[in-house]
Amino acid sequence: MKRISEELKRVQTTSLDDPDFHIHQRFQVDMEWWVLGKAIEGLKIVGVDAPEYADKRQEVDFITYNDKGEIFCPIEISEAMEPGRERVNEYREAKQRSNEPPLPGKLIDPIPDPWITLKDVLRKKYDKKYPDRTWLIVYFDISYAKISEYGWWHSTILANAKNWNVEKSPFEKVLIINASGKAIVQFSPQLAVIKEEP
């Protein structure tokens, strides 16, 4: 059993020390700890009851515990990336580019349907069987600049999610965190903003 906040600190240090952190498969477990840690950190900031400790598992990503060491809930972690993006290819391409001169800066083009991978992740996770009381936390790894030039991530995602029937889920709670890990919205049991972007 590990303290979630300490694992978050460890992983954040690792991510600063290793430039491959966000693109190499060997850091997958650390990324799951980061997503868990950022979500729990955000929940605590706004005063929502959240676990203190966790164990990494196979059947579900984490079993979490309260500050007394009693089971809090199982938590499954997932990620929705930009359509067509693959970490393995990014790693290979980054290594090839490392000896090339940098390209001139370019404007960010919006993605035509930035929600397609998120909807796909939710559909797949909703179709699987998980233990009772499991939470699902999805890391939405698409910069808001690729979604819209205006507004706020939390309002935009909730406005779109109203049409996705996300509240009818097999999970006790479904949370989505943004690319920076600083904002959280809840899809289930009801649509709500948990933590706005700072």
**Amino acid letter at 40?**
I
Q: In the block, which residue shows the tokens 């980061």?
A: 34
List the alpha helices (DSSP H) in the chain. Answer: 4-17, 28-45, 87-97, 116-127, 153-161
Give residue limits of the domains in the chain.
Answer: 2-83+109-195
Q: pLDDT (tens digit, 9 = 90+) per residue, 81-122? A: 887 655 544 444 444 444 555 444 444 566 778 899 999 999
Backbone phi, then psi, for 47, in 5-degree steps? 80, 20
CB of 187 within 8 A of CB of 160? no
Beta strands at 184-188 and 173-177: parallel, antiparallel or unpaired: antiparallel
**155-172 mean pLDDT:** 90
pLDDT of residue 134: 98
Say if residue 89 is exposed, middle or buried (CB neighbours under 10 Å; 0-12, 13-18, 19+): exposed
pLDDT of residue 95: 45
How many other C-beta atoms are found inside a 10 Å radius of the C-beta of residue 53? 22
Instruction: Indicate yes or no: pTM above 0.75.
Output: yes
Question: What is the separation, in whole angstroms, between the first and last Cα of the chain?
Answer: 31
